[in-house]
Amino acid sequence: MAIITIATNDNMSQETQIQLFDNAKIRVIWDDELEKYFFSVVDVVGTLTESAEYQSARNYWKVLKHRLVKEGSETVTNCNQLKLPAPDGKMRLTDVADLEGILRIIQSFPSKKAEPLKRWLAA
């Protein structure tokens, strides 16, 4: 994973990184207390759908969330919201999931990028 920028959140136990996968930016936050990474769901969805626009990825995630809840999936329940830098530079609440949750979300996509993204996350 190539880190291109690092910013510290108000909570000093969390560090935000923006990482590149196939030229797509994915926001990642490390939580010292929980000792795990959380990934921006919208960024992962945008990568899988190859959406150039942030709003398109948000809309796709909104529809997918609804479908997963309807199917009884606990994946959405396990998503949290954390403040991450938004495209406008402000810190905004964003749906995030840990590695296990992100892998489950990726499984929901019929994308040719799903397998390469899973391998990237495992590295």
Predicted pLDDT of residue 64: 92
Tens-digit pLDDT profile for residues 42-65: 999 999 998 878 899 999 999 999
Q: Are 21 and 120 in contact (CB under 8 A)?
A: yes
**How many independent structural domains does the chain possess?**
1
Three-state secondary structure call for residue 116: helix
Query: CA 115 to CA 29: how far, in whole Å?
Result: 22
Q: Which domain holds residue 116?
A: 2-122
93: Cβ–Cβ under 8 A, 6 or more apart, which residues? 81, 82, 83
Residues of the chain with pLDDT under 70: 1-15
Query: CA 81 to CA 38: how far, in whole Å?
Result: 10
Q: Are 27 and 42 in contact (CB under 8 A)?
A: no
Predicted pLDDT of residue 9: 46
Q: Are 1 and 123 in contact (CB under 8 A)?
A: yes
Pairing of strands 91-98, 80-85: antiparallel
Query: CA 110 to CA 104: how far, in whole Å?
Result: 13
Predicted pLDDT of residue 18: 82
